Structure 1
């Protein structure tokens, strides 16, 4: 296996199977709201969808605000999450919660309001000072003043400057109508019933999915959580040890294979050249059949037209008296014995004329 591919596979294996506590608690900032099951921070790629319950995705803004987005109503900032009582406290990013409540739609979300109260909205040309009228300042302007009144307290006797705009159902935190004034000016309180982890939270436990592929929620106690983390740490150490050893072996084998391959490649041309040279040269018997001559004082070479040579054309050294030379048949070119013998072992032609010599009877002559 390619070393680089093995290394990437090893890292992927560790991330998937040996990560410690893959469903970690998170925050949008250090001093912000704790985010844990059933909530989960939504990240690009969504690598761990099993860490949060469907419909409980939160996001973080660039200024570290925690955001819950309802399917048909839009985004709200989260002020508080109470995991023991299972409620979430929201507020409008633009500080006009009444405007958001006019179009509030909790369908397709896991959240509900504990109580619903019907209200009638009034639009008046002048500001009402009656106690039962709840002014909605962020919906009002210099010419129109918007107020709300509980429908159960509404009568047809309205000031001449007012008219009914619409009737709406508003979720409230409690069944007391008098808290609506603060409710509209402050936060929206929603609760959820599934998953129901209140009993687990009272026992200082924590809800999670039973496994990565299960949609069943289970309560894990602190003892179980500690044992689970301890087991994960041990498993991670084992995986790192085995994986590290395997990676080192693979790298070692890869290096050994690489060096062997390089050695084989570098050795093959030498072997081929040696074989070629051995096949192209003459055998010792043929070489020894060529005449050898011992030069005399005149250093005169035998043969016609070659007596003017004063040195060996192979080693470029001058001949001396008593040097032993060998002459090639037919062309009668002569050279030092040790020079021409070495040449003919690798080549089958004369180094000067490139003619192929034919064997002849070896005779040692002496020329004076």
Structure 2
């Protein structure tokens, strides 16, 4: 049994586990879309099969129209515009194209992301439009009676037009490459989030892949393309072919091991008894004992010790000379009275129906037969 376990772990379990360990794949919501790889992971893939292919909190998903979305714990969803793995930032935008409204309730707690830069603005509501060139309208928050606009807080003075009042101050994430979050009197739809953990910048600089050290580890390391296919661009067909080859080789080895084990068990059963092996053909046609004579022979039920009557095989390790199976407790045994040789009841009954002699000593168990 230990022999079979060794082959199972060596040729079946180990290759399958190795394949799973190295089966992380690049993902896209659609062709030529945003590349998704570690630390990011598509939720549908991570939940079902390979959760270790992404870092906690970096789950992305796809819309029905193949857009990539990021769901923040307390701020609902944002669409993803770009992911920069070297600089470690993700550029997102509001799917409803009203980013100021989303920023009013932006909450990044519970996520691994932080804003890169913050610029302070003041949000105003006025009863008339076009109150000044420094006021930038926010059309998506305005209606026919209230016109919402923003102004950089540094440019804001305490004097307000009579038709306006302050809604609130707003801290806006912005990119350092912008002179201002607002360009050409229009509000940018995008803003950037960054992360510090996991830090994969070194791997990206080396043109290597970043990932967990192992399936059960929370430490990350770099993987070269020659070392492993972890998060590489290998197709799923290549992975499937590799699995088939591994399973075929392992399966063949396992079948050989099973055959060897069965042969060993059979040889052990043949040598348990000191008597020479008996070549029995219980299907041979002939005239044996009648049922009443057979039933007159003693039947016993083996106890836990599995000891048989008589001096032979009384150590509890014997086997039936007819079927070569070991005796077990509660087996029903029938013994021939003249020679005291014992067998499984169903085995010796079939034998005596077509034979008139004991299968071991060849003596007749009935005086009616020579």
How many residue pairs align between the two structures? 263
Provide the C-alpha distance between the structure 1 equivalents of 2:61 and 2:12, rounded to a whole number of angstroms: 28
Spell out, residue by residue over 1:296-335, the C-alpha distance to the aligned partner (whole angstroms, 9 max, x if none): xxxxxxxxxxxxxxxxxxxxxxxxxxxxxxxxxxxxxxxx
1:117 correspondence with 2:125: no
User: Where in structure 2 are the equivalents of 1:126-145 lying within 5 Å?
Assistant: 126-145=128-147
Residue 290 of structure 2 aligns with which residue? 276
Structure 1 gaps of 5+ residues are 2-6, 255-266, 281-345, 347-368
Equivalence for 2:51: 49
> Contact 1:39–1:52 at 8 Å: present in 2 too?
yes
CA distance in 2, matches of 1:175, 1:52: 30
What CA distance in whole angstroms lies between the structure 2 residues aligned with 1:175 and 1:32?
25
267-276 vs 132-141, which moves further? 267-276
TM-score (norm 1): 0.61
TM-score, normalised relative to structure 2: 0.60
Matching of residues 93-104 of structure 1 within 5 Å: 93-104=95-106
C-alpha spacing 1:185/1:228, structure 2 compared with 1 (3 Å): closer
Contact 1:110 1:192 survives alignment (8 Å): yes
CA positional deviation for 1:128: 2.3
- Mapped partners of 1:55, 1:108: distance in 2: 8
Residue 333 (structure 1) aligns with: none
Counterpart position of 2:35: 34
Structure number with the bigger relative contact order (C-alpha 8 A, sep ≥ 6) is 2
- Say if 1:114 and 1:27 are closer, same or farther in 2 by CA, change over 3 A: same
CA gap 1:121/1:241 in 2 versus in 1, 3 angstroms: same
Determine helix, strand or coil for the equivalent of 1:157. Answer: coil
**Using a 3 Å threshold, how does the CA distance of structure 1 residues 133 and 237 change in structure 2: closer, same or farther?**
same
- Counterpart contact for 1:98–1:185, Cα < 8 Å: no
Secondary structure of 2:181's partner? helix
SS at match of 1:164: strand
Note if 1:24 corresponds to 2:25. Answer: yes
Supply the distance in 2 between the matched residues of 1:180 and 1:269 (Cα, whole angstroms). 97
Larger radius of gyration: 1
**1:71 maps to what in 2?**
73
| Counterpart in the other structure of 1:215 | 218
8 Å CA contact retained: 2:116, 2:194: yes
2:357 maps to none
Go from structure 1 to structure 2 and tell me whether the alpha carbon gap of 1:113 and 1:66 turns closer, same or farther (over 3 Å shift): same
Selected match of 2:249 from 225, 234, 241 = 241
Are the aligned partners of 1:172 and 1:180 in contact in 2 as well (CA < 8 Å)?
A: no
* Cα pair 1:77 1:90 within 8 Å, conserved: yes
Give the aligned CA root-mean-square deviation in angstroms. 4.0
The 2-side partners of 1:140 and 1:33 are apart by 33
**How far is the alpha carbon of 1:101 from its aligned partner?**
0.9
The Cα offsets for residues 129-187 of structure 1, whole Å up to 9 and x where unpaired, read as 52221211111111111111111111122222111111122211127553334784321
- In structure 2, the gaps of 5 or more residues are 2-7, 263-280, 295-353, 355-370
- Alpha-carbon shift at residue 34 of structure 1 (Å): 0.8
The structure that is helix-richer by fraction is 1
Between the aligned partners of 1:268 and 1:221, the Cα distance in structure 2 is 67
Q: Deviations over 1:263-321 (max 9, x none)?
A: xxxx98999995436959xxxxxxxxxxxxxxxxxxxxxxxxxxxxxxxxxxxxxxxxx
